[in-house]
Structure 1
Amino acid sequence: PSKPLQRQWQVLAALIGVLVIGYIAYSVLFFGRHEALRDLLAPAMFLLGALFVLLVTRLALSTAHDVQRVAMLEHENITDALTGLRNRRFLDLRLAEEMSRAARYGAPVSVLLLDIDHFKSVNDTCGHAVGDRVLAEVGRIVRETVRNTDLAARYGGEEMAIIAPQTPLSTAVMLGERLRRNIEAKAANAVPEMAVLERPITVSIGVAKSSTPPESASKLLWRADSALYEAKGGGRNRVVADSPEAPKKASI
């Protein structure tokens, strides 16, 4: 739980603890003054009730901590630590689900593969620490640019992937172009050490849309990867689409 909520739980537990101590003190101090045990029945019932509430409060707080720890572990299990994007394992699971949904309902699924241009020269010239910062910054821009319905993941090395459910090719290409422009405009500014290279951080992007009927997830990724290599071979810093229903080149 959040710190304010945790403090509220702690205050409640403390108040109940004071109540319990008060009832115990009352029972001890005034036990001999009562003519019959039935006179202590009401205080005893209140005492038991207070003990019950105290135990429930402690159990609820402990359970909330456990739920928070499980949520953190689950998040770490599906998240790439460097970029903040989902990891490859989660990408594969999600893409399989989306392809199954596409086969059932006929909705298109688009995949974008993104590769940072000349990333090896960044590591060689500026060092791997700067390369990691570039990856982290590109990951941040990707997270901010994609839609809520999209899934962005680190595909491997300096490659990232975006799954765009229920998205036609034209919309996916526009998303890719928006990613390309945002990264070119913003990424290098956040990593001053890149100034020695005297060029912006750019990306090449390959886009593919599922066929009708949908092919396998691996085939869709392969087509997006082919489009990515075409983008890199065509001069980099561009978006290229690969689809049975569309021309190869989509945007520059």
Structure 2
Amino acid sequence: MTKKYEKSWSGRYGPWCVVAGASTGIGASFSEQLAAQGLNILMVSLMGTRLKEQADDLSQRYGVDTIAIEMDLADGDCVDILRRHLGDREVGLLVYVACHSVIGEFLQTSLEDKLKILDVNVRSPLQFVAELAPAMKQRGRGGIILMSSLSGFQGTAMVATYAASKAFDTVLAEGLWAELNPHGVDVLAAVAGATHTPTFDALTPADKRSSVFPMQADDVVVEVLGQLGKCPTHIAGRLNRWVNFVLRRLLSRRAAIRFISNNTKRVYQ
């Protein structure tokens, strides 16, 4: 699904967009929909994802330029690699979707996995923003989208480290919104609930998927792009917004943590 938006994307957020985590799911949909708006796309994803084929396909169908970079966003030199591929190209939009998630009890999850969650979900988006935002501020235009999760609004059993990393992403984006919005740079914390992606489908038992009411990735992206420049935080999906209202406004903090943790255990434990 693609949608035509009222704003001129190439003028406001062009000519280049960086999409981190671009090969599947929400990231692939961002790449597709932004290419449809005429933005050139620098796509970043893990090794072995056949990203070059996807990038070439977008170029052919939408007449845009694309660059494919396959690398591990947990690596400390990922921003150096990004810088080398970008050269002097002007990036007007950063979309950071990539994440690492491991489902399991904290004490049964390896320290290596916990640290990788921090590397991919916290350190790398921080570095990407630090690399690309100064030029946006200087030009007086641009945009930054950091994908977050409903799990980041409270502690959640089975995904404790992941939830904490998503809390960081939400709060970082909101702080950047306050700092950069007066300089013409739109920043959005894009909060998703359960979403049909290859990772979700691989990790979630087939008989439990419908119980968490997953959205389609294209629908999430349509909502997010429609909200960029309008608010600091947007929760995709009417049901997700209702659940968040109940958890944050009607229940105590203790009750909210227990509710979401019990639901996560019911699906995954």
Query: TM-score with structure 1 length normalisation?
Result: 0.28
Give the number of the structure whose residues are more often helix, by fraction.
Answer: 1
If you compute each CA radius of gyration, which structure gives the higher value, 1 or 2?
A: 1
Query: TM-score with structure 2 length normalisation?
Result: 0.27
